[in-house]
Amino acid sequence: MLSFPVLSFRRKRDIKNQIQSYFISSPCSIKWDDMQAEQSNSSVRFCGDCKLNVHNLSSLSDEEVVVLLNKKASGERVCTYFYRKEDGTLVTDNCPKQLQQVRNRLQAYAASILVALCWILANSANAQGLVGAPVDPRYGQSNEVGQLADYGYDCARDISQAATALSFVLACLVGWLRRNRVKRDRLAKELLALALIPILVHLTGTYMINNLGGGLGGGL
């Protein structure tokens, strides 16, 4: 009765050993992100250099990796790509296929929610009290100058908001175009980096309005 779990454990151990002993004697210089993605299979990409489908072992289970390695050992031309941890361990993905789809969707949803929250927080940080702000004493306190200053503040604020909106749209577009060209573990980090762009644009615009708005308004 106990022989089956022992055999199963030994089999898994042998598989692990076979995978971890695998190495590429002549690594290819083509990067994974530069290969053509397959819409139907995220673990396979086409290499325009060697004209072969390249299998990403780090997105496959141990059993699937062993099948490919056995094909390669039998003489079949199989091109592979994989990641190693800092300790040299070859990374595989043993999450069940059904759960992989759920996990990937949750990651995509979480990244989208994160970008949306960043956008909301950026908009909520709009400078307050700019319209009708006191005019810098250097430019006088007349009603005419005050109106011109308000107009300058309004124009600067509108330009800042337009620049923020444009940077947000461009960040979303870049993220959408790169979703299939970026490693899964780097996708959330890259989306977060893209989300920071409109925030930085917004904060820069707010800073310039708060610190230069009076001068800009008075000079109009």
Give per-residue pLDDT as tens, 145-193.
444 455 566 676 777 777 777 777 777 767 666 655 555 556 667 767 7
Is 89 contained in some domain?
no
Confidence of residue 32 (pLDDT cuts 50, 70, 90): confident
Q: Do the Cβ atoms of 69 and 22 come closer than 8 Å?
A: yes
Answer yes or no: do 108 and 179 share one domain.
yes
Is 150 contained in some domain?
yes
Residue 100, both tokens: 């992989």
Answer yes or no: do 104 and 66 share one domain.
no
Answer yes or no: do 48 and 12 share one domain.
yes
* Alpha carbons 174 and 191: distance in angstroms, whole number: 9
Confidence of residue 61 (pLDDT cuts 50, 70, 90): confident
Beta-bridged to residue 81, according to DSSP, are: 56
Answer yes or no: do 147 and 191 share one domain.
yes
Question: Using CA of residue 18, residue 23, residue 25, residue 30, what is the dihedral sign?
Answer: positive
Confidence of residue 83 (pLDDT cuts 50, 70, 90): confident
Type of residue at 185:
D
Is 151 contained in some domain?
yes
Answer yes or no: do 67 and 106 share one domain.
no
Per-residue pLDDT for 55 more than 60? Answer: yes
Residue with tokens 């001068």: 215
Asked which of 33, 51, 81 is the last residue of a domain, the reply is 81
Q: Where are the beta strands (DSSP E) in 30-78?
A: 36-37, 44-47, 52-56
Is 88 contained in some domain?
no
Q: Do the Cβ atoms of 47 and 28 come closer than 8 Å?
A: yes
CA dist 180 → 23, 73, 171, 193 (Å): 26, 30, 16, 17
Domain count, the chain: 2
List the domain range (segments joined by +) for residue 7: 3-81
Is 153 contained in some domain?
yes
Confidence of residue 5 (pLDDT cuts 50, 70, 90): very low
* Alpha carbons 2 and 8: distance in angstroms, whole number: 10
Confidence of residue 140 (pLDDT cuts 50, 70, 90): very low
Residue 88, both tokens: 């040299």
Is 91 contained in some domain?
no
Is 26 contained in some domain?
yes
pTM score, whole prediction? 0.43
For 85, which DSSP code? -
Q: Do the Cβ atoms of 136 and 211 come closer than 8 Å?
A: no
Per-residue pLDDT for 6 more than 60? Answer: no
Answer yes or no: do 11 and 104 share one domain.
no
Is 22 contained in some domain?
yes
Return the SS3 of 104.
Answer: helix
- Average pLDDT of the chain is 68
Return the SS3 of 47.
Answer: strand
Answer yes or no: do 75 and 102 share one domain.
no
* Alpha carbons 177 and 180: distance in angstroms, whole number: 7
Per-residue pLDDT for 144 more than 60? Answer: no
* Alpha carbons 164 and 161: distance in angstroms, whole number: 5
Query: What value does the mean pLDDT take over residues 21-44?
Result: 78
* Alpha carbons 176 and 187: distance in angstroms, whole number: 11
Answer yes or no: do 55 and 101 share one domain.
no
Q: Which of 208, 203, 214, 204 is nearest to 150 (CA)?
A: 214
